[in-house]
Structures are given as structure tokens and as C-alpha cells.
């Protein structure tokens, strides 16, 4: 017979903390605490397997469950005293949900279950406290009706409010036993009116109603949404915990509270928490009364005049402190505790690893390593790499003056300054030109993703903390203020009305995603620093890491930030934005419209010194670290104006006819630019472009080496190679230029030529391509596009639907598709190294900053990952965790 029910209490338990998957987190830890001999009210856990069975069998219960529940109830009675459903020997229980991962959206706890018109009298007699009994009964009716019978909570609050008002009371505490009786009879009348049947009086019926409600809540929309966002499988199911009641509402010597073994926001090593006297369940967090501090120290710091638990119930306090220590030592992690004091006696109701801020996580990990509780490697593995994002964004200098022009919700932390844009396309366009933008929308939708990617920050005038903008921004680690309702966006006229001012596209604003503020102009920012505990963890991580971490940086500013975050070189420098600024775009356009090679070379000659300057600066910042520079990649029409008006304007500036420019633009038009005339295909059509870029690189390398004394070894990367012969063609040009520049400057330059692997054909033919390549860099953005045959810019329209309908679990552009794209990466790595064992391998797609993808890179034996500057510390930590075998 399958075991569906696991008991705990009285110093032992059927399960343990190891059984999290089967008993849920709450049940497993209640079992563990019981076995440790801690004071836990006895109870039992119905397994998650029973829940899975329930859904697989049309919401029915497995055979044997009912009998096992009866036996377990009897066992609770033996330990706690009493018999469930017996008014002569009362036993009341709570029914609590609990899945493997703690999950909001699940059914709320029902307390005092088993009370009815008869047992309430027994409770009154047993406790010699009629008021307590009636209060418990009305709480039960209220909770049960709401979470099990699905009646509106407000309905009961209204009845209660009227009752108070009639009697001229302000607080519930003024209600007498008789007052509560009156309320209870009104509740019951109302329930019968709503449901057409009376409130269930049979304790067994109550119990099974609650069990069914817990199981069913696993599929409620709130829970389903939460699971989708957090990638929790629906197959896990939830457990149900049934536990003997203890009462924190039995008068002035009773209380209920929550505590953390260390401070969850700062990480400080001190018991931290709150409690309420004469209260039950979640009164503490419900905010009905102001809770009291647990320790005297916290009370004094908070300036509270309400006594601490330490003062008020010294014995229970001392026991709590010792249990907190014991649990922390046992679990070797900071714990979040729930407890109740019944007439001076302490009971433990829950323990779990406590949620904490990133800052606290770092401090706790470093402290615990210092205390010898965990090793340094464990400390490194304790930090969620993604959470570091909270600490890596610039914040507004507290000394700076704030011109607040709007307020919204603090939807995603960090601050950002940029020019206003109103459309995602504009955001992308301006980003390409190297400009910082804030995307301003009424609300965002999946079609806006590319613009959100391009923007420094996102501001919406509608939507809450879980709106599309908020969720996506947090995922991308970008500052976001959502629902700034006082602002008016006029999309058509391109204006933003804020505090009586009209702002237009290009006007600069700052958003503070931590405070939910919109500020006028640019505001002084503080750059995040890696110091203290953060620096310590990073140092330990670096000690454990095998892969190098480089950055994707196109500008000196990016390169500097990345260096300060510990980047060990540049893995991808895209050269295209260098052609957009100021006069450069003019020279670029001249080059594009030139009819002859000569004309093109003349225009390119103007670009050469500018390119050289850009590269020299990057080489200097990177001081001898490797720098990978990608030759021009996008199709040429991206550099030309579109639309008649703009064409006319540009033509005039260039001194050519609008007709000619228009013709050239038209000739360059492509049906599918992503698969068009770009990458190395440009270098083959116009070798002079690649030659100019190579010359700029080598001259800059010679210059920088002379200046800094550090040898510079540039790595030149040829994009979009599918054929070895393509690489051969371009590499021959590069080698020729290298030779010339070395002769001219009299300096020897070591350099590498390699390719991006971003086409399936390149991965397939890696053996022969490696004959011509010193390195491979996996351009997993394009490799994902070309492997799936999905254009990233158009994917947002349906990939979200795919996710909602369960067709895919993860967006492959966010987390590498390990099976498909991953197989190609693995194949190319293996085949490439067959030809050239020392072939350098790296990844430079967006995935280079994604912890799961980084773990894959470690497994595949890549030499480095490269990611955006702000993700460098995340990648350092994730690479260390991967090397340590975590995840
Ligand atoms: P959640 O998962 O939302 O924290 P819990 O199941 O932990 O819900 O229940 C919430 C609160 O209800 C607990 O913190 C505790 O105060 C109270 N509670 C639950 N079970 C009991 C019980 N058997 N006796 C007394 N209080 C209980
Ligand atoms: Mg709750
Ligand atoms: Mg709880």
C-alpha cells in the first residue's frame, strides 16, 4: 500500500528535511524539527504525490488516503491530547499548504479547524475563556469561508465593522464573547444566503474540504502564473500539512511571531523579528496592529515603547534564541522562523532558509565562512549570481538634487539617464548610434522587447509591479518605473507631459527605479563598487573559476566599467556604432554611394584615423588584455537614410542628388536583411572595408604598445562565416595588411584571426574552418536565430505565446537552447579542437551573461565567456559556481 501520509511530532517523524520534493518545504522541515526534539505541535503531511494523483484522476483521492489520514489524526491526538471531532475531548488543527519551492498564490492557511457550534463550547470550557473560544470560532468561519468556500473576505469584514460600530467599539479587542456570538450568527446567516447551504458543522467534512482546497489551489491562476514566471514545473504538486493547533490568542501570556536568525536586509548577525501578544496566525504580517520587536536592542534602535519579547516573555525568548542558533547551525544557513507562545510555552511552527537581499546574502555568506560554518566554496555557491544585479546598477548620488517631475512604482532597481524615445524602433536606432535612451510608453507589450533591450531604462504611465514592463525590465536588469499615472504620453505628437512641462523626443530625463521617481535632466550617479563582502566573494570566486570572463564593449566608457568589474579582456567589440557619430556617418555614406573602388577607398581613408583612435583607446584601457574586434557586420543600408524627406536632407548635405541617394538606398534594400549582404559577405564584396579596419587595428596596436609598454595582441574576428573559403579570403587580406603595417612601423605585432560561429554550416564544418582560424567565438544570438530559423526581432510576437502554451519552457534568446544550439556549439568545439588543439573558444552572445548558459560553457570546455559590462561580476560568480559543479 502506497504511503500518502507522513506523521511528525513528539520527538520523531516519518520524514526529514531530505524529503522536500515529497513533503514540500514546510512539511519536510516540520519533520526535521520534530526529529531534532524541538517543540513542534504534532501533525502529518499528505504528500505531493497524492496531489499529483488527485489531478491525474479527475480530482479524486487515492485509495488508502482516508484511512491513513484517520490513523494520523489519532496519532496526533495521542501526542497532543484530544480526539478530532470529539466535543468531549477537543482536538483542533490547522491545514497548511506547502510545495517544494515556497510559492505565493497557494491556498492560505486555515486555523482552528474542527470548531462548530458544539466544539466551541468545549473550547470555552477547556480554556475557561469564552471570549477566546468565540473569537477562534469566528476566525475559523471567516478563513474557511474565504479560502475553502470561495466567499469574499470583504463580506465578513463589513459585518464585523457594522457590529463594532453598533456597539461603539474601535477595536476587535473590545468585543466580548457575546458580541462575537452575535457576529458568528450573522456570518452563518450570510453564508447560507450566499451558498444555499449552511456552514459545514461536521469536522471531517471541514477537513476534507480544506484538503481538497489546498490541492485545487495548485492549479489556481495565481499559482499557475507564478510557476510560469519562475519556471516551476506543474508536476511538482503541493503537499498538505495538518497540524494540532496551539493558541497565541489565549490572553496576555500568549503571542505569535516571526523571526530571522540574521537580519535579512543587512545580513547582520542578530536575531531579528516581530511578534504580537494575544494574537493568532498572520496577524503579525496583516498590519492590523503594530507588531513589537523581539530583542531589546532592536526595540531601542526602532525607538519603540512597546516591550520586546525579551522583556515580556524572557523564558520563551531564551528558548527561541537557543532554537534559532540550533537551527541555523543545523541547516548551516540563515533561517526564517514562525513561532507561537501559548500561555508562556514556545512552539515552533515553521523554519526555512530565509529570503534576503543581495547585500545580506553576501554578508551572511562571508560571515558564515569566517565562522567556519561553511567553506569558502560553499559561500561562493550560496549567492544567486542573478541577484547581484541589484548591486550593479548605478544609483542616484544621495547628495544630488532631485527635480521630481513624476512618480510611479519602483518596478526595477537602479537609475538611468537618457534621451526620451517613444518607440522601440527609435530606441534601437539611437542605441546603434551610441546614444543612451529611456523608452517611454503608456505600457509595453512583447513587440517592444527590442526597444527595451536597447534602452537604458523604461518608463510607463500604466501598469503595476507585475506589468509586462516591470517583469521584463527586472529580467533584463534594467531600471524601470511603471504606472507613473501623473505623466501623459502623447504617442502621436511625440510628447511627454510632466508636471506642467512638455518634454519631447531627445530631452533628457533620469528614472530612479528603486524609488519610482522620474527626474528632469541628468542627475549625478554613484557607480556601484565591488568592495567589502562583495569583493571578498568575487575574490573567492576567481580562485575557483576556470573560464575567463571578458566583456562585450564597443566604447571606452563600457570598457572602463567592465574593467572595474574585473573583465579580463574584450570578447566582442562591435565596430558598427563607430561609424554613426558626427562626421563619420558622412564619410561612411560617401563610401557607400561611391561607384568605384577608388571612391570607396577615398572615403575610407577619412574613417581610418577615427577608427584607429577608437581602437587605440580600447587597447590602452585593456592594458595588454586580449581585445577581440569584429569587422563590420550589419548590411550597408542601415547607414543610409530612409524616407524621402530624410534622403533629400542627407543628399543635400553630401552634395549629391536626392535621386542618386534614393537609387542607392533602393538598390541596397533587402527582403531579409538578417540573412542578407552582411558579415564577411561585405568584406568579400568590398575588401577595402576590411583592409581599412585591419589597418586601423594594427596601427592602433603598435601605437598603444609603444605608449603603455604592454604588448597588445589584437584578435580580429570575421563575422558570419559559413565557408572556410570565406575566411581564407578575408584572412589573406588581413595578413597582408599586418605585414605592411609591421614594415611601416618597424614593430612586430602578434595577432590572431578567428571567426564567429553563428551559422549552422560553420559549426558543421568546424574541422576545416579551424585550419584558418586561431579562435572561435560563438555568436549565440545569431546562431540561435539561424538554428531555429526564428528572427529575434519578430520572435517576441509568438515566443511568449509558446511559453504560455507550454510549447517552450524558456526563451532561447535569453537562456541558451542546450539541446539544439548547444549541440552545435559542442560539435563545433570538438571538431575545431580536433584540427587545432589550442583553438581558443569563447562565447559572445547575450547568453555569456546568463548563469545557466555559463554552466553549459564550462561543461563544453570553452576558454572564456563574454558579456555586457554590468554582467561581468555575475558571470565571474556563475563561472566559479559552474567550475565548482553547482547546478
Ligand atoms: P504561510 O505558508 O503563508 O506562511 P502557514 O501555513 O505557515 O502559512 O501559516 C501561517 C501562520 O498560521 C503561521 O505562521 C502560524 O502563525 C499560524 N499557524 C499555522 N498552523 C498553526 C498551528 N497548528 N497552530 C498555531 N498557529 C498556526
Ligand atoms: Mg500566508
Ligand atoms: Mg508560514
Nearest atom (ligand 1) to Cα of 247: 25
Q: Sorting pLDDT into bands at 50, 70 and 90, what band is 285?
A: low
Q: Whose CA is nearest to atom 11 of ligand 1?
A: 281
Q: Is the CB of 695 under 6 A from ligand 1?
A: no
Fold entry, domain 545-569+591-632+674-883: TIM Barrel (3.20.20)
Nearest atom (ligand 1) to Cα of 244: 23
Cβ–Cβ under 8 Å, residues 883 and 858: yes
Residues with CB under 5 A from ligand 3 (ion): 338, 350
pTM: 0.83
Report how far ligand 3's centroid is from the alpha carbon of 350 (Å).
6
Question: What mean pLDDT comes out for the span 129-142?
Answer: 95
Report how far ligand 1's centroid is from the alpha carbon of 289 (Å).
18
Pocket of ligand 1, candidates 39, 41, 241, 340: which has the most ligand atoms within 8 Å of its Cβ, to mutate?
A: 340
Q: Is the CB of 105 under 6 A from ligand 1?
A: no
3-state secondary structure of 631: coil
Residue 559, C-beta contacts closer than 8 angstroms, at least 6 positions apart = 551, 553, 567, 570, 618, 621, 622, 869
* Alpha helices for 45-198 (secondary structure H): 48-56, 65-80, 119-127, 130-147, 153-167, 177-195
Q: How confident is the model at residue 554, as a pLDDT?
A: 87
Cβ–Cβ under 8 Å, residues 859 and 885: no
Report how far ligand 1's centroid is from the alpha carbon of 235 (Å).
25
Report how far ligand 1's centroid is from the alpha carbon of 29 (Å).
14
CATH of domain 394-526: 3.50.30.10
C-alpha cell at 354: 530565509
Closest CA to 415 of 505, 552, 519: 519
Q: Sorting pLDDT into bands at 50, 70 and 90, what band is 355?
A: confident
Q: How confident is the model at residue 475, as a pLDDT?
A: 63
Answer with the residue of higher pLDDT: 706 or 509.
Answer: 509
Q: How confident is the model at residue 288, as a pLDDT?
A: 66
Answer with the residue of higher pLDDT: 854 or 581.
Answer: 854
- Cell numbers 560571515: residue: 367
Q: How far apart are CA 549 and CA 612, in angstroms?
A: 25
Q: Is the CB of 853 under 6 A from ligand 1?
A: no
Q: Is the CB of 589 under 6 A from ligand 1?
A: no
Q: How confident is the model at residue 389, as a pLDDT?
A: 81
Per-domain residue ranges of the chain: 255-356, 394-526, 545-569+591-632+674-883
Average pLDDT, the chain: 93
Q: Is the CB of 338 under 6 A from ligand 1?
A: yes
Counting ligands in written order, the one closest to the CA of 97 is 1
Closest CA to 586 of 659, 661, 666, 663: 661
Q: How far apart are CA 741 and CA 736, in angstroms?
A: 9
Answer with the residue of higher pLDDT: 246 or 446.
Answer: 246
Report how far ligand 2's centroid is from the alpha carbon of 107 (Å).
8
Q: Whose CA is nearest to atom 24 of ligand 1?
A: 245
Quick: pLDDT tens for 835-856: 999 999 999 988 998 999 999 9
Quick: pLDDT tens for 313-329: 999 999 999 999 999 99
Pocket of ligand 1, candidates 34, 76, 96, 351: which has the most ligand atoms within 8 Å of its Cβ, to mutate?
A: 96
Nearest atom (ligand 1) to Cα of 98: 2
The DSSP output letter for 295 is S
3-state secondary structure of 312: helix
Percent of the chain exceeding pLDDT 90 equals 76
One fold for both 255-356 and 394-526? no
Pocket of ligand 1, candidates 99, 106, 214, 349: which has the most ligand atoms within 8 Å of its Cβ, to mutate?
A: 349
Cβ–Cβ under 8 Å, residues 438 and 415: no
Q: How confident is the model at residue 57, as a pLDDT?
A: 96
Q: Is the CB of 111 under 6 A from ligand 1?
A: yes
Q: How confident is the model at residue 675, as a pLDDT?
A: 93
Q: How far apart are CA 146 and CA 160, in angstroms?
A: 15
769-807 b/e (C-beta count within 10 Å ≥ 16 → b): bbebbbbbbbbbebbbbbbbeeebbebbeebbeebeeee
Q: How far apart are CA 29 and CA 35, in angstroms?
A: 10
* pLDDT of 860 higher than 80: yes
Report how far ligand 1's centroid is from the alpha carbon of 282 (Å).
7
179-188, 281-290, 677-686: segment of lowest average pLDDT: 281-290
| Cα–Cα distances in angstroms (integers) from residue 158 to residues 110, 282, 284, 384, 562, in the given order | 20, 20, 21, 44, 58
User: Where is mean pLDDT largest: 146-150, 351-355, 472-476, 879-883?
Assistant: 879-883
Q: How confident is the model at residue 642, as a pLDDT?
A: 82
Q: Whose CA is nearest to atom 9 of ligand 1?
A: 109
Residue 536, C-beta contacts closer than 8 angstroms, at least 6 positions apart = 362, 366
Closest CA to 271 of 239, 246, 293: 293
CATH class of 255-356: alpha beta
164-168, 220-224, 348-352, 785-789: segment of lowest average pLDDT: 220-224
Residue 78, C-beta contacts closer than 8 angstroms, at least 6 positions apart = none
Q: How confident is the model at residue 448, as a pLDDT?
A: 85
Answer with the residue of higher pLDDT: 886 or 715.
Answer: 715
Q: How confident is the model at residue 9, as a pLDDT?
A: 97
Q: How far apart are CA 458 and CA 509, in angstroms?
A: 11
Question: What mean pLDDT comes out for the span 777-790?
Answer: 96
Cβ–Cβ under 8 Å, residues 820 and 787: yes
Q: How far apart are CA 754 and CA 713, in angstroms?
A: 13
Answer with the residue of higher pLDDT: 763 or 266.
Answer: 763
Q: How far apart are CA 831 and CA 824, in angstroms?
A: 10
* pLDDT of 222 higher than 90: no
Q: What string of DSSP letters covers 447-514?
A: GGHHHHHH-SEEEESS--TTSHHHHHHHHHT--EEE--TT-EEETTTTEEEETTEEEETT-EEEEETT
* pLDDT of 711 higher than 90: no
Pocket of ligand 1, candidates 25, 84, 94: which has the most ligand atoms within 8 Å of its Cβ, to mutate?
A: 94
Quick: pLDDT tens for 456-505: 999 999 887 767 888 778 767 789 999 998 999 998 889 999 989 999 99
Q: How confident is the model at residue 466, as a pLDDT?
A: 66
Q: What string of DSSP letters covers 1-33?
A: ----EEEEETTEES--GGGHHHHHHHHHHHHHH
Q: Is the CB of 350 under 6 A from ligand 1?
A: yes
Catalytic annotation, residues? 468, 844
Q: Sorting pLDDT into bands at 50, 70 and 90, what band is 232?
A: confident
- Cell numbers 561553511: residue: 374
Q: How far apart are CA 259 and CA 282, in angstroms?
A: 13
Q: Sorting pLDDT into bands at 50, 70 and 90, what band is 55?
A: very high
Q: How far apart are CA 440 and CA 458, in angstroms?
A: 6
Report how far ligand 2's centroid is from the alpha carbon of 216 (Å).
16
Q: Sorting pLDDT into bands at 50, 70 and 90, what band is 771?
A: very high
Q: How confident is the model at residue 343, as a pLDDT?
A: 95
Amino acid at each position: 500500500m502506497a504511503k500518502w501520509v507522513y506523521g511528525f511530532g513528539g520527538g520523531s517523524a516519518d520524514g526529514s528535511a531530505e524529503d522536500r520534493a515529497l513533503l514540500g518545504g514546510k512539511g519536510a522541515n516540520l519533520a526535521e524539527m520534530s526529529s531534532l526534539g524541538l517543540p513542534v505541535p504534532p501533525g502529518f503531511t499528505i504528500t505531493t504525490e497524492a496531489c499529483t494523483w488527485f489531478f491525474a484522476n479527475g480530482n479524486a483521492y487515492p485509495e488508502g488516503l482516508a484511512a491513513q489520514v484517520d490513523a494520523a489524526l489519532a496519532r496526533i491526538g495521542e501526542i497532543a491530547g484530544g480526539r478530532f471531532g470529539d466535543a468531549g475531548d477537543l482536538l483542533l488543527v490547522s491545514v497548511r499548504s506547502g510545495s517544494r519551492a515556497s510559492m505565493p498564490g497557494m491556498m492560505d492557511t486555515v486555523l482552528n479547524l474542527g470548531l462548530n457550534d458544539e466544539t466551541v463550547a468545549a473550547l470555552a470550557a477547556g480554556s475557561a475563556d469564552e471570549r477566546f473560544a468565540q473569537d477562534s470560532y469566528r476566525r475559523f468561519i471567516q478563513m474557511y469561508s474565504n479560502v475553502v468556500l470561495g466567499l469574499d473576505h470583504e463580506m465578513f469584514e463589513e459585518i464585523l465593522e457594522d457590529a463594532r460600530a453598533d456597539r461603539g467599539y474601535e477595536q476587535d479587542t473590545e468585543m466580548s464573547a457575546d458580541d462575537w456570538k452575535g457576529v458568528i450568527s450573522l456570518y452563518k446567516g450570510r453564508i447560507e444566503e450566499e451558498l444555499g447551504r449552511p456552514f459545514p458543522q461536521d469536522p471531517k467534512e471541514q477537513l476534507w474540504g480544506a484538503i481538497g482546497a489546498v490541492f485545487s489551489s495548485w492549479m489556481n491562476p495565481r499559482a499557475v502564473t507564478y510557476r510560469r514566471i519562475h519556471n516551476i514545473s506543474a508536476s511538482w504538486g503541493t503537499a498538505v500539512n495538518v497540524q494540532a493547533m496551539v493558541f497565541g490568542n489565549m490572553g496576555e501570556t500568549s503571542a505569535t511571531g516571526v523571526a530571522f536568525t540574521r537580519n535579512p536586509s543587512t545580513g547582520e548577525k542578530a536575531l531579528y523579528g516581530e511578534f504580537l501578544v494575544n494574537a493568532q496566525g498572520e496577524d503579525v504580517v496583516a498590519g492590523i496592529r503594530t507588531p513589537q520587536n523581539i530583542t531589546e536592542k532592536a526595540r531601542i534602535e526602532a525607538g519603540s515603547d512597546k516591550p520586546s519579547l525579551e522583556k515580556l516573555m524572557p523564558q520563551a525568548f531564551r528558548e527561541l534564541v537557543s532554537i534559532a542558533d540550533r537551527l541555523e547551525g543545523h541547516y548551516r544557513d540563515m533561517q526564517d522562523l514562525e513561532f507561537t507562545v501559548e500561555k508562556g510555552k514556545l512552539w515552533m511552527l515553521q523554519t526555512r532558509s530565509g529570503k534576503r537581499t543581495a547585500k545580506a546574502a553576501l554578508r551572511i555568506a562571508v560571515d558564515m565562512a569566517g565562522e567556519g560554518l561553511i567553506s569558502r566554496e560553499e559561500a561562493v555557491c550560496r549567492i544567486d549570481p542573478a541577484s547581484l544585479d541589484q548591486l550593479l546598477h548605478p544609483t542616484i548620488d544621495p547628495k544630488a538634487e532631485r527635480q521630481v517631475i513624476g512618480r510611479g512604482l519602483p518596478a526595477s532597481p537602479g537609475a538611468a539617464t537618457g534621451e526620451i524615445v517613444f518607440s522601440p524602433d527609435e530606441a534601437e536606432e539611437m542605441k546603434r548610434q551610441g546614444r543612451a535612451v529611456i523608452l517611454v510608453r503608456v505600457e509595453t507589450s512583447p513587440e517592444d522587447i527590442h526597444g527595451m533591450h536597447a534602452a537604458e531604462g523604461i518608463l510607463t504611465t500604466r501598469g503595476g509591479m507585475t506589468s509586462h514592463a516591470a517583469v521584463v525590465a527586472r529580467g533584463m536588469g534594467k531600471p524601470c518605473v511603471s504606472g507613473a499615472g501623473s505623466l501623459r504620453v502623447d504617442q502621436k505628437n511625440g510628447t511627454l507631459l510632466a508636471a506642467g512641462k512638455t518634454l519631447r523626443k531627445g530631452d533628457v530625463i533620469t528614472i530612479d527605479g528603486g524609488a519610482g521617481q522620474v527626474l528632469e535632466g541628468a542627475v549625478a550617479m554613484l557607480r556601484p563598487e565591488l568592495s567589502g563582502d562583495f569583493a571578498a566573494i568575487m575574490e573567492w570566486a576567481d580562485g575557483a573559476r576556470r573560464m575567463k570572463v571578458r566583456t562585450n564593449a564597443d566604447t571606452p566608457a563600457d570598457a572602463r566599467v567592465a574593467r572595474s568589474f574585473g573583465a579580463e579582456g574584450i570578447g566582442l567589440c562591435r565596430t558598427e556604432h563607430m561609424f554613426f557619430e558626427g562626421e563619420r556617418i558622412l564619410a561612411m555614406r560617401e563610401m557607400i554611394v561611391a561607384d568605384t573602388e577608388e571612391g570607396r577607398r577615398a572615403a575610407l581613408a577619412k574613417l581610418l584615423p577615427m577608427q584607429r583612435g577608437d581602437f587605440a583607446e580600447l587597447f590602452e584601457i585593456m592594458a595588454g588584455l586580449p581585445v577581440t574586434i569584429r569587422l563590420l557586420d550589419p548590411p550597408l543600408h542601415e547607414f543610409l537614410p530612409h524616407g524621402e524627406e530624410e534622403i533629400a536632407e542627407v543628399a543635400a548635405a553630401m552634395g549629391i542628388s536626392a535621386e542618386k541617394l534614393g537609387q542607392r538606398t533602393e538598390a541596397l534594400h533587402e527582403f531579409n536583411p538578417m540573412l542578407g549582404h552582411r558579415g564577411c559577405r561585405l568584406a568579400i564584396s568590398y575588401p577595402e572595408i576590411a583592409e581599412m579596419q585591419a589597418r586601423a587595428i594594427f596601427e592602433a596596436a603598435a601605437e598603444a604598445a609603444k605608449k603603455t609598454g604592454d604588448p597588445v595582441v589584437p584578435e580580429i574576428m570575421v563575422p558570419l562565416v559559413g565557408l572556410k573559403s570565406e575566411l581564407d579570403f578575408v584572412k589573406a587580406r588581413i595578413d597582408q595588411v599586418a605585414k605592411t603595417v609591421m614594415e611601416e612601423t618597424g614593430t612586430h605585432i602578434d595577432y590572431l584571426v578567428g571567426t564567429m560561429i553563428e551559422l549552422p554550416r560553420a559549426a558543421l564544418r568546424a574541422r576545416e574552418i579551424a585550419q584558418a582560424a586561431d579562435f572561435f567565438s560563438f555568436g549565440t544570438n545569431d546562431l540561435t536565430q539561424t538554428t531555429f530559423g526564428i528572427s529575434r526581432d519578430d520572435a517576441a510576437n509568438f515566443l511568449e505565446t509558446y511559453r504560455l502554451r507550454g510549447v517552450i519552457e524558456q526563451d532561447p534568446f535569453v537562456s541558451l537552447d542546450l539541446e539544439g544550439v548547444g549541440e552545435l556549439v559542442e560539435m563545433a568545439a570538438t571538431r575545431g579542437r580536433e584540427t587545432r588543439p589550442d583553438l581558443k573558444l569563447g562565447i559572445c552572445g547575450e547568453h555569456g551573461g546568463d548563469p545557466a548558459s555559463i554552466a553549459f560553457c564550462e561543461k563544453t570546455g570553452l576558454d572564456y565567456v563574454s558579456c555586457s559590462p554590468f554582467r561581468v561580476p555575475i558571470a565571474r560568480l556563475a563561472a566559479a559556481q559552474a567550475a565548482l559543479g553547482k547546478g
